Amino acid sequence: MSDFTVQQKVRFQHCDPAGIVFYPRYFEMINATVEEWFAQRLGVPFETLHGPLGAAVPTASLSVDFHAPSRLGDVLEFGLRPTRIGRSSVGLAVEAHCGGERRLSLESTLVFTTSDANGPAPWPEEMRARISRELGGTVSDA
Amino acid sequence: MSDFTVQQKVRFQHCDPAGIVFYPRYFEMINATVEEWFAQRLGVPFETLHGPLGAAVPTASLSVDFHAPSRLGDVLEFGLRPTRIGRSSVGLAVEAHCGGERRLSLESTLVFTTSDANGPAPWPEEMRARISRELGGTVSDA
Amino acid sequence: MSDFTVQQKVRFQHCDPAGIVFYPRYFEMINATVEEWFAQRLGVPFETLHGPLGAAVPTASLSVDFHAPSRLGDVLEFGLRPTRIGRSSVGLAVEAHCGGERRLSLESTLVFTTSDANGPAPWPEEMRARISRELGGTVSDA
Amino acid sequence: MSDFTVQQKVRFQHCDPAGIVFYPRYFEMINATVEEWFAQRLGVPFETLHGPLGAAVPTASLSVDFHAPSRLGDVLEFGLRPTRIGRSSVGLAVEAHCGGERRLSLESTLVFTTSDANGPAPWPEEMRARISRELGGTVSDA
């Protein structure tokens, strides 16, 4: 589904009394995946984004299906790819697998905001270029 | 929207470096709202559900819009109402407001599972009756 | 032990696969207790402390004993009292009980810091006076 | 201090509105370090401990000093070594560093419990032997 993947192990802290991942913890793992994607693919680690850039990328909406439960010790592979880019937004698709089994699939929209704009702001050029490249297809002279 | 509401205060633990609620924390608040609804409206506290009943109600899917950020100290009012009931599932709608402002709206599907069935199981009669009553409309002799 | 108490219910989110409170979650409850104490007894809610005051009260050290496990649905009563005040620090003692049973006892040291000082700063007079009053003994006309 | 170390990156989910690690999140990182130590050094991953073994290792007490704050993006190195072993307990010392700077030092006591014993139980021989070996010195015929 995606060529960007992050492995995360299901820890004790993620599991509930039923012995499976408590679903709010999945969103911490998903956010960690997004952080790594920003750092590795967009060249903007979250400490740069939230620090010098005075920016943030809050989640505006998301939709998720939990296909099968995950258990303590499972090593989950989170794949992420962008699905669309707007003036100040980006659509992301995330899936998590363990072995051959799909555990969850999510679609979300993040919005680029800055403290200067006190809300949504256009993507900086370099970030826009990199997201576009990730969106794939024929990327000409990127 | 709903006559079942739970107030929850935005704590330090919920907030991120941008000073607003980190969205995975919202799901903890939403889950607490669901717990209270099961206890107060369905007569089945989670300690009974997960204990003597040997059951659980994992979330199968959800869709959420975050309309406006919440900040430290905000007192959020979470309203919950069921939207549909299936053989072993229930649809829920949750909204959170602060003052007159809507902060989030969510739709989710929970599935009733038991360790006996090792998966989805039909709602116990009493729970089904109570959910149906909450669904409102003409509640006959449930 | 203390005349300042906050009740908190053990939620699904607090419990681990062993069915008891995962100890890092206790610190969220303890922090919520500290927040309420600052708001109700010191007259400085955390949103004021971290907002207009440009201050923070990081925990410098703590020591805790977990006497007995807590389970889903338990209503815990957290009692808090200050044990000492320094130029920019305060010592706190926190205990949590359920029914007659003591679940944990903690001693911690918090430090008042400001962004202006870029580190520890003397307590503002009004806060110092209030903490001193809470420390008890002969409280005159502070 | 220790030859067993685990690296963990400070994520957005760990940080508070002051931009530093919220101290309860450190305990999640510390617990992850303990999990890895059990898996790698004692040969008992938590999924085995909490699954087939029907055991758990709750924390009975801990004492921690937070020497300096950690920030988003910091890569922390957690070192762990056992300090003592009892019939059913183990003492652990954990330190976290970033660059040359010590961020926290903790001492804790964990207790081996089983559902059969409904409380503390003697360490299984193999685990006792492995912990003793980790305690160092001349481990003869363990």
Please give the pLDDT value at position B136.
86
Query: Are the beta carbons of A59 and B65 separated by less than 8 Å?
Result: no
Ordered DSSP codes for D66-107: E-S--BTT-EEEEEEEEEEE-SSEEEEEEEEEETTEEEEEEE
- How far D2 CA sits from the closest chain B CA (Å)? 31
Query: Are the beta carbons of A27 and B23 separated by less than 8 Å?
Result: yes
Please give the pLDDT value at position C137.
53
Nearest residue of D to residue A9 by CA position? D32
> Which helix (H) or strand (E) covers residue A110, if one does?
strand A101-111
Per DSSP, the three-state class of C62 is strand
Whether B100 has a pLDDT exceeding 70, the answer reads yes
pTM: 0.94
Please give the pLDDT value at position A139.
44
Closest listed residue to residue B44, CA positions, set B129, B121, B105, B108: B129
Using CB atoms, pick whichever of A12, A35, A47 lies closest to residue D35. Answer: A12
Cβ contacts of A16 on chain C, cutoff 8 Å: 12-13, 15-17
The neighbours of chain B, by the rule of 3 or more Cβ pairs under 8 Å, are A, C, D
> Is D98's Cβ below 8 Å from some Cβ in A?
no
Please give the pLDDT value at position D137.
53
pLDDT-based confidence at residue C64 (cuts at 50, 70, 90): very high
Mean pLDDT of A55-83: 97
Distance CA D55, CA A23 (A): 24
Query: Are the beta carbons of B31 and C11 separated by less than 8 Å?
Result: yes
Please say whether the beta carbons of A98 and A76 come within 8 A. yes
> Is D72's Cβ below 8 Å from some Cβ in B?
yes
Percent of chain D exceeding pLDDT 90 equals: 92
**What interface predicted TM-score (ipTM) does this complex get?**
0.93
Give tens-digit pLDDT for A5-35: 999 999 999 999 988 999 999 999 999 999 9
Average pLDDT score over chain A: 94
Mean pLDDT of B79-95: 98
**Residues in contact with B52: Cβ distance below 8 Å, sequence separation at least 6, in sequence order:** none
Mean pLDDT of B84-106: 98
Closest listed residue to residue C47, CA positions, set A132, B46, D82, B70: B70
Query: Are the beta carbons of B61 and A56 separated by less than 8 Å?
Result: no
Cβ contacts of A63 on chain B, cutoff 8 Å: 61-64
Helices (H), C41-137: 46-50, 125-135
In chain D, DSSP assigns E strands to 4-9, 55-56, 59-66, 75-85, 89-98, 101-111, 113-114, 119-120
Whether B111 has a pLDDT exceeding 80, the answer reads yes
Burial of C101 (0-12, 13-18, 19+ CB in 10 A): exposed
List the structure tokens of D49. Answer: 């401990």
List all residues of chain C from 113 to 132 with a beta carbon under 8 Å from chain B: none
> Is C4's Cβ below 8 Å from some Cβ in D?
no
Cβ contacts of D17 on chain B, cutoff 8 Å: 12, 15-17, 19, 72
List all residues of chain C from 19 to 48 with a beta carbon under 8 Å from chain D: 20, 22-25, 27-28, 31
Please give the pLDDT value at position B6.
98
**Residues in contact with C64: Cβ distance below 8 Å, sequence separation at least 6, in sequence order:** C26, C104, C105, C106, C107, D61, D62, D63
Ordered DSSP codes for B68-83: S--BTT-EEEEEEEEE
Q: Identity (one letter) of the amino acid at C22?
A: F
CA neighbours within 13 Å on the CB side: how many for A79? Answer: 12
CA distances from C66 to A138, B36, C26, D58 (A): 60, 27, 10, 9
Using CB atoms, pick whichever of A22, A56, A65 lies closest to residue B61. Answer: A65
Distance CA A120, CA A117 (A): 7
Whether D140 has a pLDDT exceeding 60, the answer reads no
Whether C19 has a pLDDT exceeding 90, the answer reads no
Cβ contacts of D89 on chain C, cutoff 8 Å: none
- How far B48 CA sits from the closest chain C CA (Å)? 9
Closest listed residue to residue A26, CA positions, set B60, C122, B12, D50: B60
Distance CA C86, CA A96 (A): 50
List the structure tokens of A3. Answer: 């060529």
Whether B45 has a pLDDT exceeding 60, the answer reads yes
Nearest residue of C to residue B13 by CA position? C28
Please give the pLDDT value at position D139.
44
The neighbours of chain A, by the rule of 3 or more Cβ pairs under 8 Å, are B, C, D
- How far B6 CA sits from the closest chain A CA (Å)? 19
- Give the number of residues written for chain C: 142
- How far D101 CA sits from the closest chain C CA (Å)? 16
Q: Which of D7, D10, D47, D76 to mutate to test the interface with A (most CBs of A within 10 A)?
A: D47
Cβ contacts of A71 on chain D, cutoff 8 Å: 47
The region, left, alpha or beta by phi > 0 then psi within -120 to 50, assigned to residue C35 is alpha
The pairing of strands D113-114 and D89-98 is: unpaired
Closest listed residue to residue D25, CA positions, set C72, A38, C94, A32: A32
> Is B13's Cβ below 8 Å from some Cβ in D?
yes
Q: Which of C64, C67, C107, C116 to mutate to test the interface with D (most CBs of D within 10 A)?
A: C64
Using CB atoms, pick whichever of C13, C16, C72 lies closest to residue A12. Answer: C16
